[in-house]
Amino acid sequence: MKKIILFFVLIILLISFLFIPKKINKGDIDVARYINIVDEISDNYVQINWKYVVSIIAVLEKNKLSNVDDSYIESISKKFLIKKDDTYILNTLDNVLDLLDMTEKQKSLVYKYLNQLEFFGLYPNKLKPDTKYYDFINSIKEMAIKNYKDHKILPSITISQAILESGWGDSDLSKKYNNLFGIKANSSWEGDFVTVETSEFYNQKIQDKFRKYYSKEESINDHSKFLVENPRYRENGVFDANTYIYQANALEKAGYSTIENEKGEKIYADKLIELIRQYNLQLIDSMVQENLK
């Protein structure tokens, strides 16, 4: 009799094991779709983590991600927003799992899936820890987070601007003079400067003066000071922006860069947004905003 009971217990355990996928099915994740929907729900309130949404849905749907409709993604995303006065703050992952009445086993699996998605995104090969991209982002990540806490410039914006303006830290302006953001030395600048060639408009080169720094940290600190002290950035909503899409567009509107495409269209915000999405920089925003509550 004991052998029969043991046999059935083993069968039940085996069936249970087979019906709980231990690995998230990355092949069925339409990353761009999740990012677009999550960002739409984030609006200008607070940045929701798209990987949280994917992992939750993967558990609830037993890893069957190919047939998930947009409304389902939206409904899970909205659970990360908590109404407070006239706006929203970011709900924690643990709170959302409780709201969904997940079992401890399901909660554990959500976290396992998140670990599996650590270096996953639109272009996974660029997110690996043995790349120059990973190294550059991490070399200024903590400075960017401090910049946000002090001056409300989102980490994703600080990092993406540094990437774009310095060419991943490889530009002469960055390597020789620690100017990560291409900030010019106008008449009000009292520090050291250097004159270099730059692209001002599409396919047009000019000579201009740029600020010279003695460390990357000094460059990042001056970047935030530059934005705070120039009224046009506040007037154009840079400091009213809570998510990267809004802040990138506000910077462009304020005239941070005049870069255009061959049609004469401004493309600075689009370039920042593309970089942020490619390298999951918005997830840094989400992490910081969650911890600041």
Q: Which residues are known catalytic residues?
A: 200, 222
Residues 271 and 128 sit within 8 Å (Cβ to Cβ): no
User: What sign does the dihedral 181-163-45-39 (CA atoms) show?
Assistant: positive
User: What sign does the dihedral 29-32-35-39 (CA atoms) show?
Assistant: negative
Q: How many CB atoms lie under 10 A from the CB of residue 222?
A: 19
Which residue, among 227, 222, 197, 200, has the nearest Cα to 211 in the 3D structure? 222
Q: How far is the C-alpha of 212 from the C-alpha of 111, rounded, in Å?
A: 44
Q: How far is the C-alpha of 293 from the C-alpha of 91, rounded, in Å?
A: 9
Q: How far is the C-alpha of 218 from the C-alpha of 195, rounded, in Å?
A: 19
Torsion of CA 182, 187, 188, 194, to 10 degrees: 40
- Cα angle value 255/258/260 (rounded, 5°): 135
Residues 147 and 223 sit within 8 Å (Cβ to Cβ): yes
Residues 215 and 150 sit within 8 Å (Cβ to Cβ): no
CB within 8 Å of 82: residues ≥ 6 apart? 88, 89, 90, 91
Which residue, among 30, 114, 102, 42, has the nearest Cα to 77 in the 3D structure? 42
3-state secondary structure of 175: helix
